[in-house]
Structure 1
């Protein structure tokens, strides 16, 4: 009887592990949820230290200005 109860316990553990893995995969593949998580992380990062965000925005503005200047010069 011990063998069958050991087998059943193993099956139950395996099912629980599989269910946990499937739940993790579902969370990772849920794009709206992941976007929300990323948004919350970004906001928390911005609230902690604005400097890198402002530097990135400045670099982006310079890149756009460079493209505009290049396009204007080509005309």
Structure 2
């Protein structure tokens, strides 16, 4: 056992628990996480928009292909 008085050990344990709960709350804060992800995406687009444009064009081609396949297929 420690030589520290019980009050000090309880205070230290309480502080540790508070830090842990704050970290868990921060990780589970969905709106904050979405905001961070949005900021990262905007910064990425602003620094180099070419991959984003290529990805968007690729997605549009895939969607157009699926629509055309659904319309023109003989199923």
Would you say same fold, with TM above 0.5?
Answer: yes
Which interval holds the TM-score relative to the shorter structure? 0.7 to 0.9
Q: Of Structure 1 and Structure 2, which has the larger fraction of its residues in helix?
A: 1
SS at match of 2:3: helix
Where structure 1 has 5 or more consecutive residues not aligned to the other structure, the ranges are: none
CA distance in 2, matches of 1:17, 1:4: 16
The aligned runs of 1:1-75 (5 Å cut-off) are: 3-5=3-5, 8-74=7-73
CA distance in 1, matches of 2:40, 2:47: 11
Where structure 2 has 5 or more consecutive residues not aligned to the other structure, the ranges are: none
Using the size of structure 1 for normalisation, the TM-score is: 0.78
Aligned length: 73
How much has 1:21 moved relative to structure 2?
A: 1.5
- Between 1:24-33 and 1:10-19, the stretch displaced more is 10-19
